[in-house]
Amino acid sequence: LNEFCERFAGSPEFRKTLRDEISDWMLRRRKDVLPNLKGKQRQTVPVILSQTERDEYNQIMRSDQHRFARLGALRQLLERVKVRILADLMAELDVDDKVILFCEYQESVATLREHCLKLGVGCVTLVGSDSPKKRQKAIDAFQQDPDCRVFIGTRSAAGTGYNLTAANYVFFLGLPWTPGLQDQAEDRAYRNGQLRMVVVKIPLAEDTIDQQLWQMLMDKRALASDLIDPEAEESSKKALAEIL
């Protein structure tokens, strides 16, 4: 590992060396070569903590828990905070829109289901403990029943392997650790068979670790783009310059 870091880490020139060495045997498959897809758009949504929520957040920050336990507690708290904005997010949708809600914690799935039922919105859930039969029943209901508008699942259980193209919205109440995991989850909706633009909404609690994690994901995404597809980053910069 030390030798690898010395050769390839730390500068764009080192990353170019790595890119050159792996280019002969790496094949990248891109979604933009699928002409039927209408595109995918990411939007962040600011969330302001109430004073009570801020006090609880600060209390966890000051606790003497191990740092990983403290981090987990903060992430769980922020997922609970974001549950309360569900009604506002749902109010923005048209009657024929469907949405996938991804959580990092199973407790959030149960809470979101209760909120959907209170709002009178049809929903299904999928978590890791569900049997294959129960999972398929939830997927079929979401895909086929127009009254079933919300699919709620933990990202670890529902974020790979399933076709959920009935959804044209994807919400993340918690963020994964890598862009690849995020892309995999988003692509339950953004895949062959999707006939609409897919909108991904990411609520971010202001002045919390949410913003740091989101920045980390963007940095990792930029690094991967620089390593695997540097032309894509340059193309994006040119497109932005033209808009400005």
Residue 167 confidence (pLDDT): 97
The domain covering 36-226 belongs, at the CATH homologous superfamily level, to P-loop containing nucleotide triphosphate hydrolases (3.40.50.300)
Is the separation of the CB atoms in 184 and 159 below 8 Å?
yes
pTM of the model: 0.80
Residue 78: phi, psi to the nearest 5? -65, -30
Average pLDDT over residues 183-187: 94
* Structure-model confidence comparison of residues 11 and 141, the more confident one: 141
Of 106-120, 125-139, 140-154, the least confident: 106-120
Is the separation of the CB atoms in 112 and 83 below 8 Å?
yes
Residue 17 confidence (pLDDT): 64
Q: Confidence band (pLDDT; 50, 70, 90) for 32? A: low
Separation of alpha carbons 88 and 104, rounded Å:
21
Residue 20 confidence (pLDDT): 63
Element (H, E) at 203: strand 198-205
pLDDT tens digits for 79-131? Answer: 999 988 888 888 888 999 999 999 999 999 999 999 999 889 999 999 999 99
The proportion of the chain whose per-residue pLDDT surpasses 70, expressed as a percent, equals 77
- Any idea where the domains of the chain sit in the sequence? 36-226
Residue 18 has pLDDT above 90, yes or no: no
In the predicted model, what is the mean pLDDT of the chain?
84
Cβ-based burial of 41 (10 A; exposed 0-12, middle 13-18, buried ≥19):
exposed
Residue 232 has pLDDT above 70, yes or no: no
Residue 235 has pLDDT above 80, yes or no: no
Of 10-19, 65-74, 100-109, 150-159, the least confident: 10-19
